[in-house]
Amino acid sequence: MTPAGHQQPSQHAPELRAAARRLGRRRLFTVTAAAAALAFATNLPTAGAAGAAELDAARITDDPFTLGVASGDPQATSVLLWTRLAPAPYQADSGLPPERVVVRWELARDERFRHVVRRGAAIAHPEFHHSVHVEVGHLDPDRVFYYRFRAGSWVSETGRTRTAPSSRARVDELKLAAVSCQAYHEGYFTAYGHLAEDDVDVVFHVGDYLYEYAVNSAGGARNYTDRVLPDLFNRETVTLEDYRLRYALYKTDPDLRAVHAAHPFVVTWDDHEVENNYAAGIPENDVPPEEFLLRRAAGYRAYWENLPLRRPQRPEDDEMRLYRRLHWGRLAQFDILDTRQYRSDQAYGDGADIPGPETDDPARTITGARQERWLIDGWRASRALWNVVPQQVIFSQRKFDLAAASRVSMDAWDGYRASRGRVLAGAKSAGVDNLMVLTGDVHVAYAFDIKDDFDDPGSRTLGTEIVTTSITSGRDGVERPANWDTYMRANPHLKFYDGRRGYTTVRLGREAARADYKTVTAVTTPGAAITTAASFVTEVGDQGLKPA
């Protein structure tokens, strides 16, 4: 998305999307799904993999841990550890033959590994590009751990992770960070370097971890003078090889490696992990639907391979179940959404438009019916003080104009108003008193009050929406973009708007939550300082953002 959050579609997009719809859902999701299943199910480790060729790790002559380590989805008694072997990360084969590699791992209570609590071995399968996902169980809740991997004589850097508190624990505080939108070619990941030093319990990445656009030999806005990137990055990602190589480029960034080693991540995608503004099985541009589904399957496969995700999130054929639920004692329930894979096509050809019958059509959805039921049922069963929803696109109403009939984004929840209405009705019926939505996508920072009626500033405030700005997307940005005054006047429930890069931290407590918006001075040059641009609080039982 563009910084304003309402990128215009290509000139042929409405006709193409209409043509895709005319194909009919049966053809779209049988022919294309079958093609994707054939392509990817035939390239998975099988039950007979134990007899497959195995590479002696002692033969690895170059450091295989060039992409770092990571952990994710902390639970009360288990952690998920990740790495991927890549002695030559900018080669399609990562510098390894198509053979299995045994990777050993250790988990300890201390950085020097004097008190190892678990150790074991995992197989890095060539079918998964030698990635490793280790689920370590039977751990104590609410504990910090350190971990590392070994392949032959090579030892990875040390990562730091933690377990969540037990489900019945009375937790007083949790500090999280929200991040999004890290286009490599738009600048340096300086904000991640600062976040690696920040004292947070967990990081939520709410989309656009990767961008599909070409990266030239100078690294785009990074404008390298001391290195030249290979030409293989100077093309849009389409194939599985393309996506795998692009993740390798991103993960060789030292700031990204540092933040993954420092904190456990909880990730969800948006559109650019595959293609800008795609909707379910409908592509942005003029390609056959079956071709796009293969591309989407490639993007999903590479996403799982390169991020710290558990086994239930592993792609099955051309789909990937990414929405899931995590708990932090009785303090917080996190319902992580996927608003991209199951959505209806964007209304009125996408872009910015005035709402109408299509945006209010109850048959249209941004989550899909099954995920919507899962979310509302989860709220009804929740015993948490805070119910937090990490997701992708702007949830609150966001008018672009001062006119009564204002344009809004068709790609955000404004383009799916009936869907948003059902979700808010579900929150009210479930008795959710302290609702917080975490959002990314738009390359700026916003703070919204979620209103019962967005057109009535005096209506009840149902929750708050914390929109984190991008890590790099949009380049340096400015504190007050040109549309700042219009947006602030057109949206009385909008309490803050900043156009610079950075991240947001949220401290959830038993009496209130505090959001701190962190910004850096620049991303097109390295080493920028970080400051707190603004801070807000919202009180338990009295939702609404107030300056801290």
Write the CATH number for 132.
2.60.40.380
Pair (148, 190) in one structural domain: no
Q: What is the CATH number of the domain that holds 462?
A: 3.60.21.70
Query: In whole angstroms, what is the distance from residue 149 CA to residue 105 CA?
Result: 4
Q: Which of 160, 188, 208 is the last residue of a domain?
A: 160
pLDDT at site 22: 36
Domain boundary among 130, 160, 190: 160
Instruction: Say whether both 276 and 373 belong to one domain.
Output: yes
Helix (H) or strand (E) holding 16, with range, is: helix 13-22
According to DSSP, the residues that pair with 386 across neighbouring strands are 332
Q: Report how far residue 469's alpha carbon sits from residue 444's, in angstroms, rounded to the nearest whole number.
A: 4
Assess whether 156 and 195 both reside in one domain.
Answer: no
Looking at the structure, tell me whether residues 396 and 510 fall in a common domain. Answer: yes
Q: For every one of its 548 residues, what pLDDT tens digit does the chain have, with 9 covering 90 and above?
A: 433 333 333 333 444 344 344 333 334 445 555 666 656 665 777 544 455 689 998 899 999 999 999 999 999 999 999 999 999 999 999 999 999 999 999 999 999 999 999 999 999 999 999 999 999 999 999 999 999 999 999 999 999 999 999 999 999 999 999 999 999 999 999 999 999 999 999 999 999 999 999 999 999 999 999 999 999 999 999 999 999 999 999 999 999 999 999 999 999 999 999 999 999 999 998 899 889 999 999 999 999 999 999 999 999 878 999 999 999 999 999 999 999 999 999 999 999 999 999 999 999 999 999 999 999 999 999 999 999 999 999 999 999 999 989 999 999 999 999 999 999 999 999 999 999 999 999 999 999 999 999 999 999 999 999 999 999 999 999 999 999 999 999 999 999 999 999 999 999 999 999 999 999 999 999 999 999 999 999 999 999 999 99
Q: Are residues 474 and 514 in the same domain?
A: yes
Q: How far is CA 243 from the centre of its chain?
A: 16
**Same structural domain, 480 and 408:** yes
**What residues have CB less than 8 Å from 467, skipping those under 6 apart?**
394, 439, 440, 441, 442, 444, 445, 446, 447, 448
Output the pLDDT for position 163.
Answer: 98
Same domain, 213 and 146: no
Tokens of 166: 């037990």
User: Are 199 and 126 members of one domain?
Assistant: no
Q: Evaluate whether residue 439 is within a structural domain.
A: yes
Residue 50 lies in a domain: no
C-beta separation of 435 from 450 below 8 A: yes
Among 129, 160, 191, identify where a domain stops. 160
Asked if residue 6 is part of any domain, the answer here is: no
pLDDT at 41: 61
Q: Which secondary-structure segment (H or E) carries 194?
A: helix 190-197
- The answer to whether residues 80 and 189 belong to one domain is no
In a domain, 389, yes or no: yes
- 39 belongs to a structural domain: no
Q: Is 155 exposed, middle or buried (0-12, 13-18, 19+ CB in 10 A)?
A: middle
Residues 136, 214, single domain; the answer is: no
Say how far apart CA 394 and CA 381 lie, in whole Å. 26
- Cβ-Cβ contacts under 8 Å for 316 (sequence gap 6 or more): none
Residue 305's identity, in one-letter code, is: E
246 Cα distance to chain centroid: 16
533 by Cβ neighbours in 10 Å (0-12 / 13-18 / 19+) ranks as middle
Please, what is the Cα angle at 292 between 289 and 296, to 5 degrees?
135
Alpha helices in 331-437 (DSSP H): 369-381, 417-429
Whether residue 453 is contained in a domain is answered as yes
Note whether residue 65 is domain-resident: yes
Residue 346 falls within a domain, yes or no?
yes
- Contact call for residues 495 and 545 (beta carbons, < 8 A): yes
The domain total for the chain is 2
Statement to judge: residues 302 and 435 lie in one domain = yes
**Which residues span the domain enclosing 338?**
13-30+172-547
Residues 392 and 463 in one domain: yes
